[in-house]
């Protein structure tokens, strides 16, 4: 499901070794730089292409190799969780990472130039989701990098923590809606490409309903836990 707002934390466990902490810090910094590049590149393209009415062309400028590399790298978060070097639950981490990999490789890669309208099935939804998906991930990885490094002496500023654990109320519904729309638009070209893949995407859409609820309630529980801890500290 929408990884733009879910919390597959790459923050190390308290018992993590020094080498593990260095690795996770490097991972978060690299991920931050890649997602930030996606956002900055996208913003520049919006400003330059909007006057010409060629916004769907943004996809072709960002997708490969920038977005594919950035999103595929996130697959390591499942491994981090499996190995127990981060606090994130394996199931929710796998759900959110898998959904984004499906979009990047199973929808965008296969059908980006097919479907109705300019830019194929990812024409409008792609550039509209840039502020919510990559934009949110920039904040996430910057947050985790600061958390792992102990920047500002005491970790992450309280206002940043508040933003990270409250903005998902708005960002998650927007992100999940964009994902569902893209998968829905891929159904027709998927049926033409392979009927079995059409059924696979139908099953994915059905799973999105309970899956979204599970992730959303998980985020609410995480928010409650963090805000309660923050309140006691203050």
Catalytic site residue from 132, 141, 179, 216: 179
179 is catalytic: yes
Q: Are 100 and 3 in contact (CB under 8 A)?
A: yes
- Give the span between the Cα atoms of 93 and 75, in whole angstroms: 9
Q: Are 77 and 88 in contact (CB under 8 A)?
A: yes
Q: For residue 30, with 0-12 CB atoms within 10 Å meaning exposed, 13-18 middle and 19 or more buried, which class applies?
A: middle
Catalytic site residue from 172, 192, 197, 208: 172
172 is catalytic: yes
- Give the span between the Cα atoms of 153 and 19, in whole angstroms: 21
**Secondary structure (DSSP) of 142-177:** HHHHHHHHTTTTTSS-HHHHHHHTTTHHHHHHHHHH
Q: Are 180 and 1 in contact (CB under 8 A)?
A: no
Q: Are 150 and 93 in contact (CB under 8 A)?
A: no
- Give the span between the Cα atoms of 156 and 151, in whole angstroms: 7
Catalytic residues: 172, 179
């Amino acid at each position: 499901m929408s990884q733009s707002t879910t919390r597959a934390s790459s923050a190390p466990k308290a018992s993590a070794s020094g080498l593990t902490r260095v690795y996770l810090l490097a991972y978060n910094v690299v991920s931050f730089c890649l997602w930030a590049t996606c956002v900055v590149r996208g913003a520049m393209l919006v400003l330059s292409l909007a006057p010409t009415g060629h916004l769907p062309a943004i996809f072709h400028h960002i997708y490969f190799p920038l977005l594919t590399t950035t999103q595929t790298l996130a697959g390591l978060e499942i491994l981090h969780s499996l190995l127990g070097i981060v606090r994130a639950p394996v199931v929710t981490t796998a759900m959110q990472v898998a959904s984004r990999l499906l979009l990047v490789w199973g929808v965008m890669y296969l059908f980006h130039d097919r479907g109705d309208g300019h830019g194929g099935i990812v024409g409008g939804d792609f550039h509209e989701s840039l502020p919510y998906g990559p934009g949110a991930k920039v904040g996430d990885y910057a947050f985790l990098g600061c958390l792992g490094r102990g920047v500002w002496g005491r970790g992450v500023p309280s206002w940043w923590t508040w933003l990270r654990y409250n903005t998902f109320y708005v960002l998650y519904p927007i992100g999940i809606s964009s994902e569902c729309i893209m998968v829905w638009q891929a159904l027709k070209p998927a049926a033409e490409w392979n009927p079995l893949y059409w059924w696979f995407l139908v099953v994915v859409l059905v799973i999105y309903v309970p899956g979204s609820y599970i992730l959303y309630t998980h985020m609410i529980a995480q928010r409650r836990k963090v805000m309660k801890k923050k309140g006691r500290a203050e």
